[in-house]
Amino acid sequence: MEAENFDLKPKLLAFSYVILMFGMIFLYVKEFPFLGNTLGIKKLVGFAFLAAAILAGLGFLIFRKRLSPISNHGPELVFTIFPILFFAPLVASKINRIGQTIENQEFAFVSETSFFASGYGILKGEEIKPTGFRLTIREKNGDLKTFKYKTQAYFPITKSGETILLPVRKGVFGFGIMDLH
Residues 23, 24, 29: CA angle, nearest 5 degrees: 100
Work out the pLDDT band at 14, boundaries 50, 70, 90.
confident
Mean pLDDT lowest among 10-24, 27-41, 56-70: 56-70
- Residue 74 pLDDT more than 90? no
The conformation of residue 122, written as its DSSP 8-state character, comes to P
CA distance 24 to 89: 12
CA distance 87 to 28: 8
Please report how the helices 41-62 and 88-96 are oriented relative to each other, as an axis angle in degrees rounded to 10: 120
Stretch 69-94: mean pLDDT, rounded?
Answer: 87
Q: Compute CA 114 distance to the chain's CA centroid, rounded to the nearest angstrom.
A: 23
- Residue 16 pLDDT more than 80? yes
Stretch 33-37: mean pLDDT, rounded?
Answer: 88
- Residue 67 pLDDT more than 80? no
Asked if 69 and 114 touch (Cβ cutoff 8 Å), the reply is no
Percent of the chain with pLDDT over 90: 27
Work out the pLDDT band at 2, boundaries 50, 70, 90.
low
- Residue 3 pLDDT more than 70? no
pLDDT higher at 2 or 65: 65
